[in-house]
Amino acid sequence: MTKFESSLKDYKEALSRLKEVLSLPEKNDIIRDSTIHRFEIVFDLAWKTLKAFLEEKQGIRCAAPKSCFREAYSQGFLKYDEFWLAITDLRNETAHTYSMKKAEEVFEKIPKCFEYFDVLLKIFEEEVTPVKYKINFTG
């Protein structure tokens, strides 16, 4: 298993765990904190999986999240979207800010982040198992 494939497996599992906590009907401080923690894990795996992909599939090295996202844009792997850079800033805020108000602001943005993470997962999976042939089984 390559580094990219291993990272992708971990990313997929972490994304599933984030989805799980986002689907909980109850919202309280414990759920909020758990959601933020799972967001941090998913983000870290997202950019590290992207980094492994760029290195293994494109021969491109990047050392930090924003540089990896920018490289993915320039290679046409991802459509340019400022939100990826905003997600990076959001992740940095969670690591360096400890106010309840900021935690609530981050928590409110995580569902949109999840949508982006989910699309990225689909893009990665397509790279692993591209659809090469369409077969019509109807008569």
Distance in angstroms between the alpha carbons of the first and the last residue of the chain: 39
Residue 123 to residue 73: CA distance in whole angstroms: 13
Q: What is the DSSP string of 30-58?
A: HHHHHHHHHHHHHHHHHHHHHHHHIIIII
**Confidence at residue 42, expressed as pLDDT on a 0 to 100 scale:** 99
CATH code matching the domain that covers 3-128, chosen among 1.20.120.330, 3.40.50.2020, 3.30.70.20, 1.10.10.10: 1.20.120.330
Rounded average pLDDT over 46-71? 96
Record the pTM.
Answer: 0.89
SS3 68: helix
Q: Which of 11, 35, 37, 19 is nearest to 120 (CA)?
A: 11
109/121 Cα distance (integer angstroms): 19
The domains of the chain are located at 3-128
Rounded average pLDDT over 25-36: 94
pLDDT in tens, 90-121: 999 888 777 889 999 999 999 999 999 999 99
